[in-house]
Amino acid sequence: MRDCPRYKYRAIVDHRPFHWPGGSRVALWVINNIEYFEYGSKGLEINEGAARFDPDIVNHSLRDYGPRVAIWRMVDCFDRLGIRVTVALNADVCEHYPQIIHAGLERKWEWMGHGPTNGMRLAGLSEENERMVIRDTLQRIERSIGTRPKGWLSPGLVETHNTLDILAEEGISYVADWVADDIPFFLTTKYRDILSVPYSMEINDMGLILRQKVSGSEFRTRIIDQFETLYEEGERCGRVMAIALHPVLTGQPHRIK
């Protein structure tokens, strides 16, 4: 048995007391995962029964509902609520859905690299191939939005043993793959430390709506319960709360409210 080489154990109760700017107890970030899937690719199997067929028309068209319809419903929702989101962005979105990029630039969204497409994972890539994939992803996003992303979320939250070193080499400042804490902590790389910003597999429509089959109302209740607990704990030491969303799931008419 061995400990993770990227970070050391730290009990949250031992962290020095602090609050976020303005005395806030909770730093809330909403992550909108905007992704591209090639026709015929696997991933995000909303209808598992249809996934065994080729062509898989059902899942492809369901996934396409996200950028065609659901994202615009979510844009309106974020505008009404005054939420500036962070986008986990597949680089292929820049070429295939430029209207979405334009909408995000108008709203000054934050952009995280999220691989070229969500139809692939970093797992199994050689170090050199992975470096090429990460570098190409960041360069394409930079050409599209005008600035290089500072953050990264791996497709499927899947890394290799080289991912963090490559991300540090490419100038990434924070990652969201490591869901080990409610407070940011540093991950060690060959070059410099990278900040791990708390993401969530619990307050995430992929896990709750797609896999646990909870209703929109239940998802809302869990979001509120999560916040209330973190807010209470944040009286002594600030917390981070992440809400991870995917347009094709949360952007459905019966869930968006």
The H or E element that residue 132 is part of is helix 127-145
Please check the confidence at residue 13 and state whether its pLDDT lies above 70: yes
What is the average pLDDT across 11-36?
96
d(C-alpha 132, C-alpha 227), whole Å: 39
Q: Is the pLDDT of residue 50 over 50?
A: no
Is 127 strand, coil or helix?
helix
The mean per-residue pLDDT over the stretch 176-193 comes to 97
Whether the bond into 55 is cis, omega within 30 of 0 = yes
Q: What is the pLDDT of residue 52?
A: 54
- The DSSP element (H or E) to which 110 belongs, if any, is strand 110-113
Question: Considering the entire predicted model, what is its pTM?
Answer: 0.93
Sheet holding 174-175, edge to edge: 185-187, 194-196, 174-175, 151-152, 110-113, 86-89, 26-34, 239-245
Confidence at residue 2, expressed as pLDDT on a 0 to 100 scale: 78
Average pLDDT, the chain: 93
User: Which residue, among 159, 158, 163, 141, has the nearest Cα to 150 in the 3D structure?
Assistant: 141
* CATH of region 28-250, choose from 3.40.710.10, 1.10.8.60, 1.10.10.10, 3.20.20.370: 3.20.20.370
